[in-house]
Amino acid sequence: MGIEGERVVTDSALAGRGPAGTGAGAKPARRRAGRPPHALLGQGQITRAALKLVARDGYKALTMAGLARALNVAPSALYNHVASKQDVLLLVEDALMGRVDVSAFAGRPWGEAVRLWAHSYRQVFSAHLPLIPVIALLPVTNAPQTIRMYEAVTEGFLRAGWPPEGIVNAIVALESFIFGSAYDANAPADIFATGELADRAPRFSDAVARRRNPEGLNDADAAFALGLDALVAGLAACQSDRGV
Amino acid sequence: MGIEGERVVTDSALAGRGPAGTGAGAKPARRRAGRPPHALLGQGQITRAALKLVARDGYKALTMAGLARALNVAPSALYNHVASKQDVLLLVEDALMGRVDVSAFAGRPWGEAVRLWAHSYRQVFSAHLPLIPVIALLPVTNAPQTIRMYEAVTEGFLRAGWPPEGIVNAIVALESFIFGSAYDANAPADIFATGELADRAPRFSDAVARRRNPEGLNDADAAFALGLDALVAGLAACQSDRGV
DNA sequence: TAATGGAAATGAACGTCATTCATTTAGTGA
DNA sequence: TCACTAAATGAATGACGTTCATTTCCATTA
**Which bases on strand C have an atom closer than 7 Å to a protein beta carbon?**
6-13, 16-27
The nearest CA of chain B is from the CA of A214 a distance in Å of: 7
pLDDT at A33: 65
Question: Could you tell me which CATH class the domain A6-92 is placed in?
Answer: mainly alpha
Contact between the CB of B169 and strand C at under 7 Å: no
Q: Nearest by CB to A238, which of B148, B181, B230?
A: B230
Which residue from B194, B169, B111, B209 is spatially nearest to A184, judged by alpha carbons?
A: B169
pLDDT given at position B93: 98
Q: Report the phi/psi class of residue A73: left, alpha or beta, with left for phi > 0 and alpha for psi in -120 to 50.
A: beta
* Amino acid letter for position A121: Y
Residue range(s) occupied by CATH 1.10.10.60 in chain A: 6-92
Residue B9 has pLDDT above 60, yes or no: no
Task: State the CATH architecture for B97-241.
Answer: Orthogonal Bundle (1.10)
pLDDT digits (tens, 9 = 90+) for B52-75: 999 999 999 999 999 999 999 999
Q: DSSP state, B196?
A: G
Are the C-beta atoms of A105 and A113 separated by less than 8 Å? yes
- Least CB-CB distance to A177: which of B155, B167, B227? B227
Q: Residue-wise over B128-152: b if at least 16 C-beta within 10 A, else e?
A: bbbbbbbbbebbbbebbebbbbbbb
Give the separation between CA B182 and CA B120, rounded to whole angstroms. Answer: 11
Per-residue pLDDT band for B31 (boundaries 50, 70, 90) equals confident
The pLDDT assigned to B32 comes to: 77
Nearest C-alpha neighbor of B114 from the set B231, B240, B238:
B231
What does the pLDDT average to over B197-219? Answer: 97
Alpha-carbon gap, residue A190 to B139, rounded angstroms: 6
A210 vs B235: CB contact, 8 Å cut-off?
Answer: no
Closest partner residue to B151 among A177, A179, A204, by Cβ?
A204
Long-range contacts of A17-24 (CB under 8 A, 24+ apart): none
Of A144, A178, A190, the CB nearest to B139: A190
First-to-last CA distance in chain A? 53
**Residue pLDDT tens, chain A, 244 long:** 333 323 323 333 333 233 333 333 334 557 776 676 687 799 999 999 999 999 999 999 999 999 999 999 999 999 999 999 999 999 999 999 999 999 999 999 999 999 999 999 999 999 999 999 999 999 999 999 999 999 999 999 999 999 999 999 999 999 999 999 999 999 999 999 999 999 999 999 999 999 999 999 999 999 999 999 999 999 999 776 654 3
pLDDT in tens, B211-236: 999 999 999 999 999 999 999 999 99
Length of chain A: 244
Question: What is the pLDDT of chain B when averaged over all its residues?
Answer: 88
Query: Is A165 within 8 Å of B210 when comparing Cβ atoms?
Result: yes
Chain A 78-137 residues whose Cβ is under 7 Å from strand C: 80-81
Sorted by sequence, the CB contacts under 8 Å of residue A88 that are 6+ apart come out as: A46, A47, A50, A62, A64, A67, A78, A82
B206–A136: do the CB atoms touch at under 8 Å? no
What is the distance, to the nearest Å, from the Cα of residue A213 to the centroid of all Cα atoms in its chain? 27
Q: Report the distance separating Cα B30 and Cα B32, nearest Å.
A: 7
Quote the pLDDT of residue B228: 98
Say if CB B141 and CB A195 are below 8 A apart: yes
Amino acid B34: pLDDT = 63
Distance A84 CA to C2 C1' (A): 39
Integer distance in angstroms from CA A179 to C1' C22? 46
Q: Which pLDDT belongs to residue B24?
A: 38
Q: Choose, out of B146, B177, B218, the residue to mutate when testing the contact with A (most A CBs < 10 Å).
A: B177
What is the model's pLDDT at position A57? Answer: 98
With an 8 Å Cβ cutoff, are A165 and B194 in contact?
A: no
Shortest-distance nucleotide from A74 CA to C1':
C10
Q: Which chain B residues touch A165 with a CB distance below 8 Å? A: 210-212
Burial class from Cβ neighbours inside 10 Å (0-12, 13-18, 19+) for residue A121 reads buried
pLDDT band at B241; cut points 50, 70, 90 = low
Give Cα B141 to chain centroid, integer Å: 17
Interface contact B136-A227, CB threshold 8 A: no
Q: List, for residues B105-121, the tens digit of each pLDDT value.
A: 999 999 999 999 999 99
Using CA atoms, how far apart are residues A151 and B198, in angstroms rounded to an integer? 10
Distance in angstroms (rounded) separating the CA atoms of residues B6 and A199: 35
Residue nearest to nucleotide C24 (CA to C1'): B34
Start and end residues for every CATH 1.10.357.10 domain found in chain A: 97-241
Read off the pLDDT of residues B149-165 as tens digits, 9 standing for 90 and up. 999 999 999 999 999 99
Nearest CA to B16 among B29, B1, B27, B35? Answer: B29
Residue nearest the C1' of D19 (CA based): A76
CA of A61 to C1' of D14 (A): 16
Distance between CA atoms of residues B212 and B198, nearest Å = 20
